[in-house]
Chains A and B, each alone.
Chain A
Amino acid sequence: MKAPVQFKHNGSDVAVFVDGGASLLTALRDGVGDTSPKFGCGQGTCGVCTVLIDGEVHLACITLAETVAGRSVETADGLKSGPNLHPIQTAFMDNFAAQCGFCTPGMMMAAKALLDRNPSPTRADVIDAISGNICRCTGYEPIINAILAAAGSRQRA
Protein backbone atom coordinates (compact mmCIF):
# COMPACT_ATOMS: atom_id res chain seq x y z
CA MET A 1 0.00 0.00 0.00
CA LYS A 2 1.31 3.42 -0.95
CA ALA A 3 1.65 6.03 1.76
CA PRO A 4 1.75 9.81 1.21
CA VAL A 5 4.75 11.69 2.63
CA GLN A 6 5.18 15.46 2.66
CA PHE A 7 8.43 17.14 3.60
CA LYS A 8 10.70 20.06 2.73
CA HIS A 9 13.26 19.16 0.07
CA ASN A 10 16.05 21.72 -0.18
CA GLY A 11 13.65 24.38 1.07
CA SER A 12 10.68 23.51 -1.18
CA ASP A 13 7.56 21.61 -0.11
CA VAL A 14 7.25 18.25 -1.84
CA ALA A 15 4.71 15.42 -1.58
CA VAL A 16 5.31 11.89 -2.82
CA PHE A 17 3.66 8.48 -2.55
CA VAL A 18 5.97 5.73 -1.31
CA ASP A 19 5.63 1.95 -1.03
CA GLY A 20 5.41 0.53 2.49
CA GLY A 21 8.94 0.14 3.85
CA ALA A 22 10.46 2.41 1.17
CA SER A 23 13.59 4.30 2.16
CA LEU A 24 14.05 8.04 2.02
CA LEU A 25 16.63 7.40 -0.70
CA THR A 26 13.99 5.76 -2.91
CA ALA A 27 11.56 8.61 -2.17
CA LEU A 28 14.19 11.18 -3.17
CA ARG A 29 15.49 9.46 -6.31
CA ASP A 30 12.28 7.89 -7.69
CA GLY A 31 9.67 10.20 -6.15
CA VAL A 32 11.21 13.68 -6.05
CA GLY A 33 13.66 13.04 -8.92
CA ASP A 34 16.74 14.17 -6.97
CA THR A 35 19.48 11.71 -7.93
CA SER A 36 22.27 13.49 -6.04
CA PRO A 37 22.16 11.04 -3.10
CA LYS A 38 23.42 7.68 -4.43
CA PHE A 39 22.63 4.06 -3.63
CA GLY A 40 25.82 2.29 -2.56
CA CYS A 41 25.73 -0.46 0.06
CA GLY A 42 22.11 -0.21 1.26
CA GLN A 43 23.45 -1.04 4.74
CA GLY A 44 24.39 2.33 6.18
CA THR A 45 28.08 1.57 5.77
CA CYS A 46 29.35 3.61 2.79
CA GLY A 47 27.80 7.08 3.24
CA VAL A 48 27.04 7.88 -0.44
CA CYS A 49 23.36 8.48 0.47
CA THR A 50 24.23 11.02 3.21
CA VAL A 51 21.60 13.78 3.55
CA LEU A 52 20.74 16.27 6.27
CA ILE A 53 17.44 15.87 8.12
CA ASP A 54 16.62 18.98 10.17
CA GLY A 55 20.31 19.88 9.81
CA GLU A 56 21.73 16.58 11.08
CA VAL A 57 23.53 13.97 8.98
CA HIS A 58 21.52 10.85 8.26
CA LEU A 59 21.79 7.97 5.83
CA ALA A 60 18.86 8.07 3.41
CA CYS A 61 19.11 4.38 2.46
CA ILE A 62 18.28 3.21 6.00
CA THR A 63 15.82 5.99 6.82
CA LEU A 64 12.19 4.94 6.51
CA ALA A 65 10.65 7.51 4.14
CA GLU A 66 7.60 8.02 6.36
CA THR A 67 9.77 9.22 9.24
CA VAL A 68 10.68 12.48 7.46
CA ALA A 69 7.05 13.67 7.22
CA GLY A 70 6.99 17.38 8.09
CA ARG A 71 10.78 17.58 8.36
CA SER A 72 13.43 19.34 6.30
CA VAL A 73 15.68 17.25 4.02
CA GLU A 74 18.79 18.74 2.39
CA THR A 75 20.75 17.01 -0.36
CA ALA A 76 23.83 17.89 -2.41
CA ASP A 77 21.47 19.07 -5.17
CA GLY A 78 20.46 21.97 -2.93
CA LEU A 79 23.99 23.22 -2.24
CA LYS A 80 24.23 25.51 -5.28
CA SER A 81 22.37 28.77 -5.44
CA GLY A 82 21.35 29.35 -9.07
CA PRO A 83 24.56 29.48 -11.09
CA ASN A 84 26.69 29.96 -7.97
CA LEU A 85 28.38 26.94 -6.45
CA HIS A 86 28.46 26.48 -2.67
CA PRO A 87 31.92 27.16 -1.12
CA ILE A 88 32.17 23.41 -0.38
CA GLN A 89 31.57 22.58 -4.07
CA THR A 90 34.13 25.18 -5.18
CA ALA A 91 36.67 23.84 -2.70
CA PHE A 92 36.13 20.26 -3.91
CA MET A 93 36.74 21.43 -7.49
CA ASP A 94 39.79 23.54 -6.64
CA ASN A 95 41.37 20.76 -4.57
CA PHE A 96 40.68 17.95 -7.08
CA ALA A 97 38.65 16.20 -4.37
CA ALA A 98 36.51 14.17 -6.78
CA GLN A 99 38.10 11.23 -8.56
CA CYS A 100 35.29 8.93 -9.76
CA GLY A 101 32.85 11.27 -7.99
CA PHE A 102 30.47 8.65 -6.58
CA CYS A 103 31.20 9.47 -2.93
CA THR A 104 31.27 13.24 -3.56
CA PRO A 105 27.62 14.17 -2.81
CA GLY A 106 27.76 12.26 0.50
CA MET A 107 31.15 13.72 1.39
CA MET A 108 29.88 17.24 0.72
CA MET A 109 26.80 16.77 2.90
CA ALA A 110 28.92 15.35 5.75
CA ALA A 111 31.17 18.42 5.29
CA LYS A 112 28.17 20.78 5.35
CA ALA A 113 26.89 19.27 8.59
CA LEU A 114 30.34 19.79 10.12
CA LEU A 115 30.86 23.36 8.88
CA ASP A 116 27.34 24.48 9.80
CA ARG A 117 28.12 23.50 13.39
CA ASN A 118 31.85 24.15 13.52
CA PRO A 119 33.07 26.82 11.05
CA SER A 120 36.74 26.37 12.07
CA PRO A 121 37.33 22.62 12.26
CA THR A 122 40.70 21.01 12.88
CA ARG A 123 42.00 18.30 10.57
CA ALA A 124 40.96 15.72 13.19
CA ASP A 125 37.42 17.17 13.25
CA VAL A 126 37.21 16.78 9.47
CA ILE A 127 38.47 13.19 9.59
CA ASP A 128 35.87 12.35 12.22
CA ALA A 129 33.09 14.09 10.28
CA ILE A 130 33.72 12.01 7.13
CA SER A 131 34.51 8.79 9.00
CA GLY A 132 31.18 7.33 7.88
CA ASN A 133 31.85 8.09 4.21
CA ILE A 134 33.92 5.70 2.14
CA CYS A 135 35.93 6.85 -0.91
CA ARG A 136 36.77 3.68 -2.84
CA CYS A 137 39.26 5.66 -4.97
CA THR A 138 40.95 6.29 -1.57
CA GLY A 139 41.25 10.00 -2.36
CA TYR A 140 40.83 11.07 1.24
CA GLU A 141 43.66 13.61 1.44
CA PRO A 142 42.27 15.95 -1.26
CA ILE A 143 38.80 15.61 0.30
CA ILE A 144 40.09 16.56 3.76
CA ASN A 145 42.06 19.46 2.24
CA ALA A 146 38.97 20.63 0.33
CA ILE A 147 36.83 20.70 3.47
CA LEU A 148 39.52 22.61 5.38
CA ALA A 149 39.77 25.03 2.42
CA ALA A 150 35.98 25.46 2.38
CA ALA A 151 36.13 26.34 6.06
CA GLY A 152 38.79 28.95 5.28
CA SER A 153 36.78 30.44 2.44
CA ARG A 154 33.66 30.59 4.61
CA GLN A 155 35.54 32.53 7.24
CA ARG A 156 36.75 35.01 4.60
CA ALA A 157 33.31 35.36 3.00
Chain B
Amino acid sequence: MPITVKTFATLGEAASALQSDRTAHFLAGGTLVMRAINEGDTSFSTVVRATDRAFGEIRPAGARVTLGAGVTMAQVMANGELSFLHAVARSVGGPAIRNMATVGGNLFAPSPYGDFTVALLALDATLAMQGGYSGRETPLEEFLANRERNTSLVASVTFNRPNPDAFRFRKVSRVKPKGISVLSIAAHLPANGGRIAGARVAYGAMAPAPMRAKSVERALEGRALDESGITAAVAAAAEGTTPQTDALASAWYRREMVAVHLKRLLSGSQ
Protein backbone atom coordinates (compact mmCIF):
# COMPACT_ATOMS: atom_id res chain seq x y z
CA MET B 1 0.00 0.00 0.00
CA PRO B 2 1.44 3.42 -0.90
CA ILE B 3 2.51 5.48 2.08
CA THR B 4 2.06 9.24 2.33
CA VAL B 5 5.00 10.93 4.08
CA LYS B 6 4.23 14.27 5.74
CA THR B 7 7.23 16.28 6.94
CA PHE B 8 6.78 19.26 9.27
CA ALA B 9 9.17 21.94 10.52
CA THR B 10 7.78 21.94 14.07
CA LEU B 11 6.72 19.30 16.59
CA GLY B 12 3.43 21.19 17.08
CA GLU B 13 2.45 20.79 13.44
CA ALA B 14 3.51 17.14 13.48
CA ALA B 15 1.45 16.53 16.63
CA SER B 16 -1.61 18.10 14.97
CA ALA B 17 -1.17 15.83 11.96
CA LEU B 18 -1.05 12.79 14.27
CA GLN B 19 -4.22 13.96 16.04
CA SER B 20 -6.11 14.37 12.77
CA ASP B 21 -5.18 10.89 11.48
CA ARG B 22 -5.25 8.44 14.36
CA THR B 23 -3.74 5.63 12.27
CA ALA B 24 -0.72 7.75 11.24
CA HIS B 25 2.69 6.69 12.58
CA PHE B 26 5.41 9.10 13.65
CA LEU B 27 8.84 8.28 12.23
CA ALA B 28 11.93 9.24 14.23
CA GLY B 29 14.88 6.88 13.67
CA GLY B 30 12.90 4.47 11.49
CA THR B 31 13.89 1.27 13.30
CA LEU B 32 10.26 0.42 14.16
CA VAL B 33 8.18 2.20 11.48
CA MET B 34 10.32 1.30 8.43
CA ARG B 35 10.48 -2.26 9.66
CA ALA B 36 6.66 -2.33 9.77
CA ILE B 37 6.48 -0.93 6.22
CA ASN B 38 8.97 -3.53 4.98
CA GLU B 39 6.90 -6.28 6.59
CA GLY B 40 3.80 -5.10 4.71
CA ASP B 41 1.92 -3.65 7.68
CA THR B 42 -1.24 -2.19 6.14
CA SER B 43 -2.68 -0.76 9.37
CA PHE B 44 -1.37 2.72 8.52
CA SER B 45 -0.88 4.70 5.33
CA THR B 46 0.53 7.97 6.67
CA VAL B 47 3.98 8.59 8.14
CA VAL B 48 4.59 11.88 9.96
CA ARG B 49 8.06 13.38 10.45
CA ALA B 50 9.42 16.53 12.09
CA THR B 51 12.67 18.33 11.31
CA ASP B 52 12.42 20.42 14.51
CA ARG B 53 15.94 20.96 15.85
CA ALA B 54 14.79 20.73 19.50
CA PHE B 55 13.70 17.15 18.85
CA GLY B 56 17.34 16.00 18.65
CA GLU B 57 18.84 18.12 21.44
CA ILE B 58 20.31 17.06 24.79
CA ARG B 59 19.65 19.75 27.39
CA PRO B 60 21.33 19.25 30.77
CA ALA B 61 20.16 21.90 33.25
CA GLY B 62 21.81 21.49 36.64
CA ALA B 63 20.43 18.42 38.34
CA ARG B 64 17.82 17.90 35.60
CA VAL B 65 18.52 16.32 32.22
CA THR B 66 16.19 16.66 29.23
CA LEU B 67 16.63 14.49 26.16
CA GLY B 68 14.75 15.40 22.98
CA ALA B 69 12.81 12.33 21.89
CA GLY B 70 14.81 12.30 18.65
CA VAL B 71 18.16 11.97 20.42
CA THR B 72 19.92 8.81 19.22
CA MET B 73 21.70 6.17 21.29
CA ALA B 74 24.98 7.28 19.62
CA GLN B 75 24.36 10.87 20.78
CA VAL B 76 23.85 9.65 24.35
CA MET B 77 27.10 7.65 24.18
CA ALA B 78 29.01 10.67 22.83
CA ASN B 79 27.85 12.99 25.63
CA GLY B 80 30.27 13.11 28.57
CA GLU B 81 27.61 14.40 30.96
CA LEU B 82 25.51 11.27 30.40
CA SER B 83 28.18 8.72 31.36
CA PHE B 84 25.74 6.90 33.67
CA LEU B 85 23.66 6.08 30.54
CA HIS B 86 26.54 5.04 28.25
CA ALA B 87 26.31 1.34 29.06
CA VAL B 88 22.53 1.48 28.59
CA ALA B 89 22.76 3.14 25.16
CA ARG B 90 25.56 0.76 24.15
CA SER B 91 23.32 -2.23 24.95
CA VAL B 92 20.90 -1.21 22.18
CA GLY B 93 21.62 -2.88 18.80
CA GLY B 94 24.87 -2.59 16.87
CA PRO B 95 26.66 0.62 15.78
CA ALA B 96 24.29 1.32 12.85
CA ILE B 97 21.15 0.87 14.98
CA ARG B 98 22.66 3.13 17.66
CA ASN B 99 23.13 5.86 15.01
CA MET B 100 19.43 5.59 14.14
CA ALA B 101 17.44 4.40 17.19
CA THR B 102 16.03 7.24 19.29
CA VAL B 103 15.12 7.75 22.93
CA GLY B 104 11.51 8.40 21.88
CA GLY B 105 11.28 5.34 19.66
CA ASN B 106 12.60 3.15 22.45
CA LEU B 107 9.53 4.12 24.53
CA PHE B 108 7.36 2.32 21.95
CA ALA B 109 9.59 -0.72 21.39
CA PRO B 110 7.67 -3.92 22.15
CA SER B 111 9.07 -6.50 24.59
CA PRO B 112 11.80 -7.81 24.62
CA TYR B 113 13.13 -4.54 23.13
CA GLY B 114 13.17 -1.20 24.94
CA ASP B 115 16.17 -1.49 27.30
CA PHE B 116 16.76 2.29 27.34
CA THR B 117 13.21 2.79 28.61
CA VAL B 118 13.97 0.42 31.50
CA ALA B 119 16.72 2.79 32.62
CA LEU B 120 14.44 5.81 32.21
CA LEU B 121 11.81 4.08 34.35
CA ALA B 122 14.32 3.55 37.17
CA LEU B 123 15.23 7.25 36.86
CA ASP B 124 11.57 8.26 37.37
CA ALA B 125 11.52 10.03 34.01
CA THR B 126 8.63 12.20 32.88
CA LEU B 127 7.60 12.84 29.28
CA ALA B 128 6.66 16.15 27.67
CA MET B 129 3.79 15.38 25.30
CA GLN B 130 2.75 17.46 22.31
CA GLY B 131 -0.92 17.26 21.32
CA GLY B 132 -3.78 15.83 23.35
CA TYR B 133 -2.80 16.70 26.91
CA SER B 134 -0.24 19.10 25.51
CA GLY B 135 2.14 20.72 27.94
CA ARG B 136 1.50 18.16 30.67
CA GLU B 137 4.44 16.26 32.09
CA THR B 138 3.39 12.60 31.99
CA PRO B 139 5.11 10.13 34.30
CA LEU B 140 6.76 7.41 32.19
CA GLU B 141 5.02 4.65 34.15
CA GLU B 142 1.61 6.17 33.34
CA PHE B 143 2.56 6.50 29.67
CA LEU B 144 3.67 2.86 29.46
CA ALA B 145 0.35 1.65 30.92
CA ASN B 146 -1.49 3.29 28.00
CA ARG B 147 1.09 3.40 25.23
CA GLU B 148 -0.93 1.27 22.79
CA ARG B 149 -3.67 3.94 22.83
CA ASN B 150 -1.33 6.94 22.73
CA THR B 151 -1.89 9.41 19.89
CA SER B 152 0.18 12.28 21.30
CA LEU B 153 3.72 13.02 20.21
CA VAL B 154 6.46 12.54 22.79
CA ALA B 155 8.63 15.66 22.51
CA SER B 156 11.20 15.01 25.24
CA VAL B 157 12.12 12.99 28.31
CA THR B 158 13.28 14.57 31.59
CA PHE B 159 14.81 13.05 34.72
CA ASN B 160 17.08 13.92 37.64
CA ARG B 161 20.75 13.16 37.21
CA PRO B 162 21.52 10.27 39.60
CA ASN B 163 24.55 9.96 41.82
CA PRO B 164 26.70 7.66 39.59
CA ASP B 165 27.21 5.17 42.45
CA ALA B 166 23.45 4.90 42.94
CA PHE B 167 22.52 3.91 39.37
CA ARG B 168 23.01 0.38 38.03
CA PHE B 169 22.03 -1.38 34.81
CA ARG B 170 22.33 -4.95 33.63
CA LYS B 171 21.23 -6.52 30.37
CA VAL B 172 21.18 -10.30 29.96
CA SER B 173 21.47 -11.57 26.39
CA ARG B 174 22.65 -14.80 24.85
CA VAL B 175 24.73 -13.17 22.09
CA LYS B 176 27.48 -10.64 22.77
CA PRO B 177 28.33 -7.85 22.17
CA LYS B 178 24.98 -7.36 20.41
CA GLY B 179 21.99 -9.35 21.55
CA ILE B 180 18.31 -9.01 22.36
CA SER B 181 17.30 -9.09 26.01
CA VAL B 182 16.47 -12.24 27.88
CA LEU B 183 15.81 -9.56 30.48
CA SER B 184 17.24 -6.25 31.63
CA ILE B 185 17.29 -4.57 35.04
CA ALA B 186 17.91 -0.96 36.01
CA ALA B 187 18.09 0.23 39.60
CA HIS B 188 18.36 3.66 41.15
CA LEU B 189 19.23 3.21 44.82
CA PRO B 190 19.95 6.54 46.51
CA ALA B 191 21.24 6.05 50.04
CA ASN B 192 20.82 8.27 53.06
CA GLY B 193 23.13 7.43 55.96
CA GLY B 194 23.78 3.99 54.49
CA ARG B 195 20.07 3.20 54.10
CA ILE B 196 18.24 3.16 50.78
CA ALA B 197 15.67 5.91 50.43
CA GLY B 198 13.50 6.14 47.31
CA ALA B 199 14.52 2.85 45.62
CA ARG B 200 13.50 2.44 41.99
CA VAL B 201 13.96 -0.91 40.27
CA ALA B 202 12.75 -1.54 36.71
CA TYR B 203 12.68 -4.64 34.49
CA GLY B 204 12.69 -5.11 30.72
CA ALA B 205 11.26 -8.22 29.00
CA MET B 206 9.50 -9.24 32.23
CA ALA B 207 6.08 -7.91 31.06
CA PRO B 208 4.61 -6.66 27.75
CA ALA B 209 6.18 -3.26 28.53
CA PRO B 210 9.03 -2.19 30.85
CA MET B 211 7.76 -2.40 34.44
CA ARG B 212 8.63 -1.26 37.96
CA ALA B 213 9.54 -4.09 40.38
CA LYS B 214 7.60 -2.54 43.25
CA SER B 215 7.93 -5.53 45.61
CA VAL B 216 11.69 -5.32 45.23
CA GLU B 217 11.61 -1.56 45.84
CA ARG B 218 9.58 -2.07 49.03
CA ALA B 219 11.96 -4.80 50.21
CA LEU B 220 14.95 -2.48 49.76
CA GLU B 221 13.42 0.66 51.23
CA GLY B 222 15.11 1.78 54.43
CA ARG B 223 17.61 -1.08 54.38
CA ALA B 224 21.32 -1.21 53.77
CA LEU B 225 22.55 -2.92 50.62
CA ASP B 226 24.05 -5.75 52.69
CA GLU B 227 23.42 -9.48 52.62
CA SER B 228 20.10 -9.34 54.45
CA GLY B 229 18.83 -6.42 52.34
CA ILE B 230 19.82 -8.16 49.12
CA THR B 231 18.27 -11.46 50.29
CA ALA B 232 14.96 -9.73 51.01
CA ALA B 233 14.98 -8.02 47.59
CA VAL B 234 15.86 -11.22 45.73
CA ALA B 235 13.04 -13.11 47.48
CA ALA B 236 10.59 -10.65 45.91
CA ALA B 237 12.32 -10.54 42.49
CA ALA B 238 9.66 -12.26 40.36
CA GLU B 239 6.59 -10.78 42.07
CA GLY B 240 4.21 -9.07 39.68
CA THR B 241 6.10 -10.11 36.54
CA THR B 242 4.29 -11.46 33.45
CA PRO B 243 7.10 -12.31 31.03
CA GLN B 244 6.44 -13.67 27.56
CA THR B 245 7.76 -16.82 25.93
CA ASP B 246 9.64 -16.09 22.73
CA ALA B 247 12.53 -17.46 20.68
CA LEU B 248 15.06 -16.20 23.23
CA ALA B 249 13.62 -17.55 26.48
CA SER B 250 10.50 -19.07 28.00
CA ALA B 251 8.45 -17.15 30.52
CA TRP B 252 9.49 -19.75 33.13
CA TYR B 253 13.20 -19.19 32.39
CA ARG B 254 12.84 -15.42 32.64
CA ARG B 255 11.09 -15.70 36.02
CA GLU B 256 13.84 -18.04 37.28
CA MET B 257 16.65 -15.84 35.97
CA VAL B 258 15.43 -12.48 37.19
CA ALA B 259 16.30 -13.33 40.81
CA VAL B 260 19.77 -14.53 39.81
CA HIS B 261 20.56 -11.35 37.90
CA LEU B 262 18.93 -9.02 40.44
CA LYS B 263 21.23 -10.55 43.06
CA ARG B 264 24.27 -9.99 40.85
CA LEU B 265 23.22 -6.41 40.10
CA LEU B 266 22.66 -5.55 43.76
CA SER B 267 25.82 -7.26 45.01
CA GLY B 268 27.92 -5.69 42.26
CA SER B 269 29.21 -9.04 40.95
CA GLN B 270 29.53 -9.92 37.27
Task: Identify the A interface with B (CB < 8 A).
Answer: 1, 3, 19-21, 23, 42-44, 47, 50, 56-59, 61-64, 66-67, 110, 113, 127-133
Closest A residue, CB atoms, query B7: A66
Contact B38 A62 (CB under 8 A): yes
Main secondary structure of the interface of B (DSSP, over half): mixed
Contacts of A23 in B (CB 8 A): 34, 37-38
Main secondary structure of the interface of A (DSSP, over half): mixed
Contact A1 B30 (CB under 8 A): no
Q: Please pick, from A19, A47, A127, the residue contacting B96 in the complex, using a CB distance under 8 A.
A: A47
| Nearest 4 CB-CB pairings of A with B | A132-B94, A21-B3, A42-B38, A62-B34
B237 to chain A, nearest CB (A): 29
A74 to chain B, nearest CB (A): 13
Answer whether residue B215 sits at the interface, using C-beta atoms and an 8 A cutoff: no
Q: Give the number of chain B interface residues (Cβ < 8 Å).
A: 25
Contact A1 B2 (CB under 8 A): yes
Contact B95 A132 (CB under 8 A): yes
Task: Identify the B interface with A (CB < 8 A).
Answer: 2-5, 7, 27, 30-31, 34-35, 37-39, 47, 49, 74, 93-97, 99-100, 177-178
Closest A residue, CB atoms, query B44: A21
Contact A44 B95 (CB under 8 A): no
Q: Please pick, from A56, A66, A127, the residue contacting B5 in the complex, using a CB distance under 8 A.
A: A66
Alpha-carbon distance A50/B177, docked complex (angstroms): 18
B102 to chain A, nearest CB (A): 13
Contacts of B3 in A (CB 8 A): 19-21
Query: How many A-B pairs fall under 8 Å by CB?
Result: 85
Alpha-carbon distance A44/B94, docked complex (angstroms): 10
Given A20-B4, A21-B2, A56-B99, verify A131-B34 contact (CB < 8 Å). no
Contact A63 B2 (CB under 8 A): no
Contact A133 B38 (CB under 8 A): no
Alpha-carbon distance A19/B3, docked complex (angstroms): 8
A-B contact pairs, 16 of them (CB 8 A): A3-B5, A19-B3, A20-B2, A21-B37, A42-B39, A43-B38, A50-B96, A61-B34, A64-B47, A67-B30, A113-B95, A127-B177, A128-B177, A130-B94, A132-B94, A132-B97
Closest B residue, CB atoms, query A113: B95
Contact B27 A44 (CB under 8 A): no
Closest B residue, CB atoms, query A57: B96
Known: A1-B4, A58-B96, A58-B99. 4 other contacts (CB 8 A): A21-B3, A50-B96, A110-B96, A131-B94
Contact A57 B177 (CB under 8 A): no
Contacts of A1 in B (CB 8 A): 2, 4
Alpha-carbon distance A129/B5, docked complex (angstroms): 32
Alpha-carbon distance A131/B180, docked complex (angstroms): 12
Contacts of B95 in A (CB 8 A): 57, 110, 113, 128-129, 131-132
Contact B5 A63 (CB under 8 A): no
